[in-house]
Amino acid sequence: MNITIQNKELKDLQGMIIPVYEDKTHTCEKVEAIKAGELFKGKVGECFYFTTEEMKYMILVGLGKYEELKSEAFKTAIAKGAKKAKELKLTEYGIKFIDAAHMCPGGRVRAIVQAARLALYNFDKYKTGEDKKTYTPNVYVLDAPTEKIEKMNGKLSEINNIVDGIIEARDLVNEPANVIYPETLANRVVELGQRDGFEVEIFDENQIQEMGMKAFYEVAKGSARAPRFIVMRHMNAPETEEIFGLVGKGLTFDTGGYSLKPSGSMDTMKSDMAGAAAVIGTMSALAKNKVKANVIAVIAACENAISGISYKPGDIIGSMAGKTIEVLNTDAEGRLTLVDAVTYIIEKEKVSKVVDIATLTGAALVALGTTTTAVVSNNDEFYNDLIAKAERTGEKFWRLPDFDDYKKLIKSDIADLKNIGGRNAGTITAGLFIGEFVQGKPWLHLDIAGTSWAETALNEYSVKGATGVPVSTLYALIEQRKPCKH
Q: Among all residues, which ones are annotated catalytic? A: 261, 335
**Sheet order of strands, 316-317 included:** 316-317, 325-326, 417-418
- Find the length of the chain: 486
Contacts of residue 170, defined as CB under 8 A and 6 or more positions apart, other chains included, come to 121, 123, 277, 465, 466, 467, 468
- The helix/strand/coil state of 45 is coil
How far is the C-alpha of 418 from the C-alpha of 60, rounded, in Å?
57
Contacts of 221 (CB under 8 A, 6+ apart): 309, 310, 311
Counting Cα atoms < 13 Å in the Cβ hemisphere of 42 gives 22
Beta bridge partners of 397: 373
**H helix intervals, 175-247:** 182-196, 205-210, 214-220
Distance set, CA 219 to CA 192, 211, 421, 437 (Å)? 27, 16, 19, 18
Contacts of 355 (CB under 8 A, 6+ apart): 244, 245, 246, 247, 443, 444, 445, 446, 474, 477
For residues 63 and 57, the answer to whether their CB atoms sit within 8 Å is no
Q: Is 301 helix (H, G, I), strand (E, B) or coil?
A: strand
β-bridge mates for residue 15, sequence order: 57, 93
CA-CA distance, 124 to 347, in Å (whole number)?
42
* DSSP three-state, residue 284: helix
Residue 121 DSSP symbol: -
DSSP one-letter string for 70-104: -HHHHHHHHHHHHHHHHHTT-SEEEEE----SS--
- State the Cα torsion 117-123-127-129 to the nearest 10°: 0
Q: Are 139 and 94 in contact (CB under 8 A)?
A: yes
b (16+ CB within 10 A) / e for 24-50: eebeeeebeebbeeeebbbebebbbbe
CA dist 313 and 479 (Å) reads 42
